Structure 1
Amino acid sequence: MLSEEQNEEGGVAVSGRLWMLLLAGISLVFVGIAVIVVASILLGGSGSVGGVILIGPIPIIFGSGPDALWLVLVGVIVSIISIVLFLVLNRRAGRN
């Protein structure tokens, strides 16, 4: 007999709400990209891009355009906050 948290294959059952949240997040990313592309085509002008990709402990920082420095700085700050939150929440979960 399986517990309520496992499905027939032995994996953990995932709620339908989680799938809807995942689908909504992916959809929002594509809608955002489409809005930026359409605005760039219709309004003209230049665009900037910047970001931070963390692969393990190694950060990859990139940027291009007139406002890339600010975008990279925001990316680094958000990455640092994410890492700190992960460590704090992970430590708190380990205590319970």
Structure 2
Amino acid sequence: MIRGETIVFIGIAAVITGMLLIFIGTAFLSSGKTEGSDNTKVSTGGVVLIGPIPIIFGNDKSMVSIAVLGAIIIMVISYILFYRGSL
């Protein structure tokens, strides 16, 4: 059985890791070549989970498919974590 302190530590570590990845990614993008680079394409996508219902959005077909895959993975992991005692 996983203790509560371990779950809290994992959550805090995930938030800190996410913030560091955002900072590092921003630093890499800002240090890149900005003059005369017209071939830059930005794609966005995301998932909002409201209970069991996912709301998926994006401006590119590939990003939407990645968001769908991510939503499925998140739902399977949450199902395993919440209902593993009744399996």
TM bracket, shorter-chain basis: 0.5 to 0.7
Which residue of the partner structure matches residue 9 of structure 2? Answer: 20
Map 1:52-71 onto structure 2 (within 5 A). Answer: 52-64=47-59, 68-71=60-63
Deviation at 1:85, TM superposition (A): 4.3
Structure 1: state its 5+ residue gaps: 1-12
Q: Percent identity?
A: 29
- Give, in whole Å, the separation in 2 of the partners of 1:22 and 1:85: 15
Matched, 1:74 2:66: yes
- Secondary structure in 2 matching 1:75: helix
Q: What TM-score, normalized by structure 1, do the two folds share?
A: 0.59
TM-score normalised to structure 2 length: 0.64
Q: CA deviation at 1:81?
A: 3.1
Find the partner of 1:32 among 21, 35, 43.
21
Which protein is bigger by CA-based radius of gyration? 1
Gaps of at least 5 residues in structure 2 are 35-39
Q: Give yes or no for contact 1:40–1:47 (8 Å, CA) kept in 2.
A: no
Q: Which moved more, 1:21-30 or 1:81-90?
A: 81-90
Are 1:94 and 2:69 an aligned pair?
A: no
CA 1:41–1:79 in 2, change beyond 3 Å: closer, same or farther? same
The residue type equivalent to 1:52 in the other structure is V
